[in-house]
Amino acid sequence: MTNEPTPTSNVSADRPPVSRSRPEGATANRRESVQQQAEAEAALPDLLRRIDDLSNLDGQGYFEREPLSTLAIDDAAIYPLQVSTAPHFAILSSIDHLRTIADIVRSGTLPMTAVGTLLRSALETSCSAIYFLAPQSRADRVLRALRDEYFQIADAERMTADFDPDLTVNREGKEEMLGRALQGFSAAGSWANVTGGRPASITTKIQFACPVVEAHSLRGRAEFAVRGLWRGLSGITHGRQYAALAILDREELGYDESTGVVQTHMTFGVRSLVSCLAIVLDVVETAQKLWGQRSRRFTNLPEDAELVAVLRVDGRL
């Protein structure tokens, strides 16, 4: 009689045996069905067309300001600075990011995370434009523009010092220009209103933009969709796994029964791209439409007429 090792078992009286075989019909390996894939592919051409339409606006003169429009008066009120500078550049930046996404898609390649970074940038910059354009009060629009100019001075100083500590920014001259702009429209507040506190964070701008997007978009995007997408895209941009698992498409490459590990290929597939791009386009188009309203319409409010008279006397209109 020989002594043989007793075989170990994972079976107990109150616990069923552990099985490492993959359950039949498991769906954890793929995030879209064949039907969802087909629907996404059918929706993509229209989204790309909307990007093309946005890309053509600048060449069509869309971003010109008509004389006596609300935005033209805003700009004249704080000459030599302009309220329109920040939202104009932000919208052009968001469109540029979208155009790059369209180029990537048409090239037949979809990188795993780079598209998410481009989508996030388009979302953030268009929310910034909405933050500057949406307030109904001219005083609010002007104050936001002046505060943005003020905090950009400090940002420019830090960037310059990082590149070369021997270089300097003409802070005194820039602040003097900012003070003259504020004097041109004192209703915006005091110097302390311009320089106090902290600059508006991107979170603040997105919180402000969400209800504006919901009100302007024909697709009725709920606020949580914009905020949630921004957080997910930010996670992808910073290499956070939870965000990739939540947003990206996954395709199973293999399953190891001995370890229970599923090897997957993750990418921005058509399904994930279409669902994200549709929301981002709503935000960018909201910013674009707000620009159109502010740059082409005159509110005809009594205080606007009074301001126009003053600006004409001063030679600013």
For the stretch 90-143, pLDDT in tens is: 999 999 999 999 999 999 888 888 999 999 999 999 999 999 999 999 999 999
Whether 300 maps to a domain, the answer reads: yes
Task: Indicate if the pLDDT at residue 87 is higher than 50.
Answer: yes
Whether 272 maps to a domain, the answer reads: yes
Q: At 5, is the pLDDT very low, low, confident or very high (cuts 50, 70, 90)? A: very low
Whether 178 maps to a domain, the answer reads: yes
Q: At 67, is the pLDDT very low, low, confident or very high (cuts 50, 70, 90)? A: confident
Predicted local distance difference test score (pLDDT) of residue 248: 82
Q: What is the mean pLDDT of the chain?
A: 84
Taking only the tens place, the pLDDT of each residue in 193-227 is 999 999 999 999 999 999 899 877 756 666 788 99
Q: At 36, is the pLDDT very low, low, confident or very high (cuts 50, 70, 90)? A: confident
Whether 100 maps to a domain, the answer reads: yes
**Range with lowest mean pLDDT among 78-82, 96-100, 253-257:** 253-257
User: Is 71 in contact with 83 (CB distance < 8 Å)?
Assistant: yes
The count of domains in the chain is 1
CA distances from 62 to 37, 94, 134 (A): 36, 15, 18
* Orientation of helix 138-163 relative to helix 85-106, angle to 10°: 70
Whether 317 maps to a domain, the answer reads: no
User: What is the average pLDDT across 30-43?
Assistant: 77
Whether 314 maps to a domain, the answer reads: no
Whether 21 maps to a domain, the answer reads: no
Q: At 7, is the pLDDT very low, low, confident or very high (cuts 50, 70, 90)? A: very low
Task: Indicate if the pLDDT at residue 8 is higher than 60.
Answer: no
Whether 163 maps to a domain, the answer reads: yes
Which range of residues forms the domain containing residue 196?
35-47+64-309
Cis status of the peptide bond prior to 80, with omega within 30 of 0: yes
